[in-house]
Structure 1
Amino acid sequence: MIIAVLVLGLLVPAQGTFADVLGVVRTCAIVLLFFLYGARMPTREVVDGLRNWRLQGSMLGATYVLLPALGLAVQALPDTVLAPELRQGVLYLSLLPSTVQSSVVFTSVARGNVAAAITGATISNVSGIVLTPVLVGLLLTATSGDLGGSPVGILLQLLLPFVVGQVVQPWIGGWVRAHAPLTRTTDRATILLVAYTSVSQASVSGAWDHVTPSALAVLVVVSVVVLAAVLAATWWGGRAIGLDRADRAALLMVGSTKSLATGLPMAAVLFSPVVAAGVALPVIVYHQLQLATCAVVARRVARVE
């Protein structure tokens, strides 16, 4: 579906009044998405999970230290190897929180510590509501200059809905968690809407002109190297700090994955439309690679004693 809307945005981009209406709908969808994130996350479970500080600290370190370091290393590539816009996207990707559903499923397949994966992914996403915009401001602005984002938009569209969701979570959290199709539909619809509007804006402005087949191939190779590096670091690093096999499996899956569901909507708020379109492509490419790779890795880890 993501590929389909990307093609649609290239061939039939939204323009004029239709684009304006879609922009309003997208903003409302992002607000609803982050409200539901807050409403469905039990604060008590997050606090309880912090007790396993070594594992949880390792997950956060992989997500917000190791991967950003790899993202910064990619910035050293010359423009002739990887275009600046795509390098920005790789750095932005590295600053995102972990996935929730995917990392937990892969941890289960790997016979890992599922409870720790749930807590770690949840903490990662809660922290990411604040950490990702802050890191974007510190790292991306420092390397790329003004990216056109709005601090007021970050507050009103991301943080405020999440906080409101957390406030009302004791009353509606159980109902939201019991109606999983509601949040799944919201997640997917928002991702598709953001993907289509971002590609449309890029198509109209000419931002995609530099993305040639060779540039896409280089981006895939860079994404493969980054993913391989973080998978190796989390698996062998977990052993080095004394984690057992189940905890290492959880660290492997939570520490190496990045959330498309958070990344695309957040990009629409943090960046100007043209920049958002540029950073979206690396997020989409890495997301597809992590799904395919972690599915294989999880099965292999399941056989490790």
Structure 2
Amino acid sequence: MKRAWTKVKGWVDPYVLLLFGMVALAAVLPATGAAVRPVGIATDLAVAFLFFLYGARLSADQTLQGIKHWRLHSLVLAFTYVMFPILGVVASFAARPVLGPDLAAGMLFLCLLPSTVQSSVAFTSIAHGNVAASIVAASVSNLLGVVITPLLVLLTMGAAAGIDLGTIQSLFLKLVLPFIIGQLMHRWLGDFLTRNKQIISKFDRGAILLVVYSAFSAGMREDMFGKLSALQLVALLIACCILLAIVIAATMIISKAFGFSWPDRTAIIFAGSKKSMASGLPMAQVIFPAATVGILVLPLMLFHQIQLMVCAQLARRWSAIPPEETSAAGGHGR
């Protein structure tokens, strides 16, 4: 059993299993009646505190220093906030007849999110890439994403998502304001958060589990699963795989064409091809009506697991490449 569990962990993130476990819990025991309001309040507070922590952990000084490598960071941002959204618009229209309007909207929302920080850096490190550049690129993506993602949602999904002035105010109060306060507190809290990564990580993950339970509880109250078919779920899985394959291929080809060194290219590939579930789930909880959040975040949850599995295999494969081959494969790096 231990050996089997180790093998499963090599392919499936145990945290993703917990997330889907919360989906199952919401399906069996959703928050209903008198429990709805307390769960909603707890979720709102958890989301606000999450974004406060995100702001407090990200160093603006580090980001400013990283601007020196502006070509690399500009390319990562172009993949994250230009190429991905364009693919999301195309995918949402092309797949709508099969996926239905809610899952198609979820595909688009997935494409508007910032990159991940932790896994992008981890995979870049395993592949012997430019870790410092990866940290800055992913951090810049997240710093800007607090503002850019809601703006992109307004631009591409505003009418369909039912976003109004109240939603914008809620976004500011629950996401942007806590993030700004966190940034202002970084000089006092940054070192503490760095020293206590494991404790903070557990809170992060616990808060996101609560977000998932709240979202899918609302979906169950609206008979969400009764609206989904097996064909839609299979089509969604295929769509996520195709999306990831296109972006990884694009990051590989374009970063090489621009003459980046191999270590820089690995940072671009991993930071430019991924989307953050840690940011995406709380954002969805704030932006979209409660009854639709569960379906809308399904593409993100599937894409997250697929990106981890694929990028883990790429990182392991590239870690075995001799240094002389990676030097020959790269360019000037600036």
**TM-score bin, normalised by smaller chain:** over 0.9
1:128 has 2:155 as partner: no
Contact 2:99 2:235 in 1 (8 A): yes
Query: By how many angstroms is 1:35 displaced?
Result: 0.5
Q: Residue 11 of structure 2 corresponds to which residue in structure 1?
A: none
Q: 1:298 to 1:175 in 2, by over 3 A?
A: same
Partners of 1:17 and 1:101 lie apart in 2 by 37
Q: Residue 224 of structure 1 corresponds to which residue in structure 2?
A: 241
Query: By how many angstroms is 1:181 displaced?
Result: 1.9
Amino acid of the structure 2 residue aligned with 1:203: M
Contact 1:29 1:186 in 2 (8 A): no
Q: Alpha-carbon deviations, 1:199-240, whole Å to 9, x = none?
A: 110011123322211110000000000000000000111001
Selected match of 1:5 from 22, 47, 60: 22
Partners of 2:92 and 2:19 lie apart in 1 by 27
Partners of 1:104 and 1:35 lie apart in 2 by 21
Amino acid of the structure 1 residue aligned with 2:185: V
Contact 1:238 1:251 in 2 (8 A): yes
Query: By how many angstroms is 1:58 displaced?
Result: 0.6
1:109 has 2:126 as partner: yes
Scaled by the length of structure 2, the TM-score of the pair is 0.88
Partners of 1:188 and 1:79 lie apart in 2 by 31
Selected match of 2:162 from 146, 163, 166: 146
Amino acid of the structure 1 residue aligned with 2:20: I
Q: Residue 213 of structure 2 corresponds to which residue in structure 1?
A: 196
Partners of 1:78 and 1:114 lie apart in 2 by 36
Partners of 2:148 and 2:47 lie apart in 1 by 18
Amino acid of the structure 2 residue aligned with 1:146: G
Partners of 1:59 and 1:201 lie apart in 2 by 35
Selected match of 1:253 from 270, 274, 281: 270
Partners of 2:135 and 2:161 lie apart in 1 by 36
Query: By how many angstroms is 1:147 displaced?
Result: 4.6
Q: Alpha-carbon deviations, 1:218-275, whole Å to 9, x = none?
A: 0000000000000000011100111110000000000011111110011000111122
Q: 1:234 to 1:116 in 2, by over 3 A?
A: same
**Unaligned ranges ≥5, structure 2:** 1-17, 327-334
Contact 2:93 2:104 in 1 (8 A): no
1:295 has 2:312 as partner: yes
Query: By how many angstroms is 1:152 displaced?
Result: 1.1
Selected match of 2:252 from 206, 227, 235: 235
Selected match of 1:162 from 179, 190, 205: 179
Q: Residue 180 of structure 1 corresponds to which residue in structure 2?
A: 197
Q: 1:145 to 1:2 in 2, by over 3 A?
A: closer
Q: Secondary structure at the match of 1:166?
A: helix
Partners of 1:13 and 1:275 lie apart in 2 by 15
1:270 has 2:287 as partner: yes
Query: By how many angstroms is 1:278 displaced?
Result: 1.9
Selected match of 2:56 from 34, 39, 44: 39
**Unaligned ranges ≥5, structure 1:** none
Count of aligned residue pairs for this structure pair = 304
Contact 1:147 1:275 in 2 (8 A): no
Contact 2:115 2:272 in 1 (8 A): yes
Scaled by the length of structure 1, the TM-score of the pair is 0.96
Partners of 2:212 and 2:231 lie apart in 1 by 22
Percentage of identical aligned residues: 38
Q: Alpha-carbon deviations, 1:80-138, whole Å to 9, x = none?
A: 32211001001000000001111110111111100000001100000000000000000
Partners of 2:117 and 2:86 lie apart in 1 by 22
Amino acid of the structure 2 residue aligned with 1:112: G
Selected match of 1:23 from 31, 34, 40: 40
Contact 2:161 2:288 in 1 (8 A): no
Contact 2:48 2:178 in 1 (8 A): yes
The two structures, once aligned, show a CA RMSD in angstroms of 1.3
Q: Alpha-carbon deviations, 1:140-173, whole Å to 9, x = none?
A: 125x352577111100000000101111111121
Selected match of 1:209 from 189, 207, 226: 226
